[in-house]
Amino acid sequence: MLAVIESLPAYLAGFQMTLYLTVVSGILSLLLGTLLAAARVSPLRSLRSVSTFAVELGRNTPLTLVFVFFVFILPGVGIILPLGTLPAIIALTVYTSAFVCEAVRSGINSVGIGQAEAARAIGLGSIGTLRLIVLPQALRTVVPPLISVLIALAKNTSVASGFAVVELTATGRALARDYPADVIWMLLGVAAFYLLITIPAGYAASRIERRVVFSR
C-alpha cells in the first residue's frame, strides 16, 4: 500500500499520457467520424459506399491489428512513422472514428421524418429545417452514445502500452516489476486512475440521457 503512494509520480506521468492520448485522438476521431457520418448520409451514392466500407472495416478489425499495421507493417513497406505517440494517436483515431460515425449516423436517423415534414409544412427552408429542427434533436440523442465511445477510447489507449508508449497500463506493468511484493496494489492503483476517467464520464452520460429523454 505504501509503495503505491511512493510511486504516485510515476502514476501521474502515466495518467497524463493516457489523458493526452484520449484527448488528442478523441478530438481527431470526433472530426473524422463526423466527416464519415456526413459522407454516409450524403445524397451521393459513391461517397456513401466508400464511407460504409471504411466504417465496416474499422468496426470489424481488432484495435491491436490496427496498431500492428501502423507500428510494424507500414515501416516494413518503407513508410516510417516516429516511434511513440504518433502511431498510437493515428491508430486510435482511425479505429474510434468508425464508432463515432455510427453514433452520429444513428443520431441523425433517430429524428423522425415527420419532424422534417412538419418543418417544411410551416415554411422553413432546408437550412432552417436543419438548424432549428433536425440538428438540435439529433445532437441531443448523439451525445450519450458519443460519451460511451469516448469512454471506450479512454480504455483503449491501454493498447498503446503494447507498442512502446508509456501510459497508465505500461506504468502499472513497470511498477509491478519493480515492487514484486505489491503487484496487486500496484495494478489496483492503475485501475483507480482509469476509473477516475470512466466513472465520471459514464455518470455524465447517464445524466444527459435522462435529461434528454423528455424530448422523445
**Which residues bind to other proteins, rule: CB under 8 A?**
41, 43-48, 50, 56-57, 59-65, 68-69, 72-73, 76-78, 108-109, 111-113, 115-116, 120, 126, 130, 134, 151, 155-159, 161-162, 168-169, 172-173, 176, 183-184, 187, 190-191, 194-195, 198-199, 202
- In the bound state with other proteins, the residue whose beta carbon lies nearer, of 62 and 84, is 62
C-alpha cell at 167: 501510459
- In the bound state with other proteins, the residue whose beta carbon lies nearer, of 2 and 44, is 44
- In the bound state with other proteins, the residue whose beta carbon lies nearer, of 3 and 155, is 155
The answer for residues whose C-beta is within 8 angstroms of residue 157's C-beta and 6 or more apart is 18, 21, 22, 25, 88, 92, 167, 168
Closest contact distance (angstroms) between CB of 30 and other proteins is 20
CB atoms within 10 A of CB 79: 9
- In the bound state with other proteins, the residue whose beta carbon lies nearer, of 2 and 60, is 60
Beta carbons of 210 and 140 less than 8 angstroms apart? no
Closest contact distance (angstroms) between CB of 172 and other proteins is 7
DSSP one-letter code for 69: I
- Spell out the alpha helix ranges (H) of the chain: 2-6, 8-40, 45-60, 63-68, 74-77, 85-110, 113-121, 126-128, 135-156, 168-178, 183-212
